[in-house]
Amino acid sequence: MVPEFSQLTLKSASDRDVFGFGQHFWPLYSEGEHLQQLRLRLVFTPEAESAVVSVLPTLPISAISRLHRQQPLLGMELLLGSMPSASVIGALQALPGLEQLLLAPSTQLPQLTTPGLLVMDMDSTAIQIECIDELAAAAGVGAEVAAVTERAMLGELDFEQSLRARVAKLKGADTAIIGQLCERLPLSPGLPSMIAELQQHGWRTVVASGGFTPFVNHLKQLLSLDAAFANELVLQDGKFVGEVTGKVVDAAFKAAVVTDCAVQWQIASGQRVAIGDGANDIPMVTAADFGLAYHAKPKLAAAADAQIRQLGLQVIPFFLQYHSC
């Protein structure tokens, strides 16, 4: 269900529509206008609306646009007359249930209503777990593997070496744990509705993961994704051999997925989006036209064009530009 504003009300004043809050009124404009001016996008839960709206009078707002998306969040774009103070931006950032995106006049967001490409990391991005850690826990070597995973995510270890070291610890484990994990794979909040909205506008959706093929293929089937890339485990006689086969899906491979898929599907310039959470996703995120950091480690957060810090993946459509036909 798509929520409506309850604190910010639409009114008419002097033959034009305005948004009102208490004694404050701001002209209404349509999304897609004023693209060459300074703007601030706010995306938040209905529960956060009161707190968010109460901050609006402290911002140098010239006009407000409502962002309509098929997601259970509220969104608005504020046309700003000047750069907000650091203290006001900090106050907004501190509010629970809110994401913000400050858009310079030169910023061109990908178009939601034009076919594009979204490439997602899987572990801790499309899903809420690290599959290697879960497999290791089921195999009785969880603590050993989790420590290596964390160092790899922080960019302290070479990915391929750490991958092979972690997989080696699974040697001899029963492969039944793969199917058991697929059955309870926890999707990140908003993933299905976000994918569905992008697909309605002709977007291609892809997972590129340093994890393993059984799990990306499960997601591909579940969400009707266009492609899925991951590492292939070597399994024999119902047991893990402790190895992977074929080309390792590392940071460079994931970056190549962005460029190769864009060529394959003839995605227009400016329409390539990528999202991840760890240092291994930096090349992929920077290869895209618009790179997103999701609940991310500091190195990726610094490299990305935008961040989702608190909410789920349903924020993504609000960070894309909508143009009505």
Whether residue 15 lies in the annotated active site: no
**Counting runs of H as helices and runs of E as strands, what totals does the chain give?**
11, 14
Q: Which residues contact 317 (CB under 8 A, 6 or more apart)?
A: 69, 70, 71, 112, 194, 197, 198
Catalytic residue among 121, 277, 281, 305: 121
In contact, 207 and 220? CB cutoff 8 Å = yes
List Cα–Cα distances, 197 to 7, 67, 231, 314, 316, in angstroms: 26, 14, 28, 9, 10
Neighbours of 142 (CB within 10 A): 16
Q: Which residues contact 46 (CB under 8 A, 6 or more apart)?
A: 3, 6, 72, 73, 74
In contact, 225 and 207? CB cutoff 8 Å = yes
Catalytic residue among 15, 123, 158, 226: 123
Whether residue 121 lies in the annotated active site: yes
- Lookup: tokens for 154: 């922080």
- Lookup: tokens for 261: 């898929």
As to burial, measured by CB atoms within 10 angstroms (0-12 exposed, 13-18 middle, 19+ buried), residue 45 is middle
List Cα–Cα distances, 95 to 39, 112, 268, in angstroms: 19, 27, 36
32 vs 3: CA distance, rounded Å: 21
Which residues are marked as active site?
121, 123
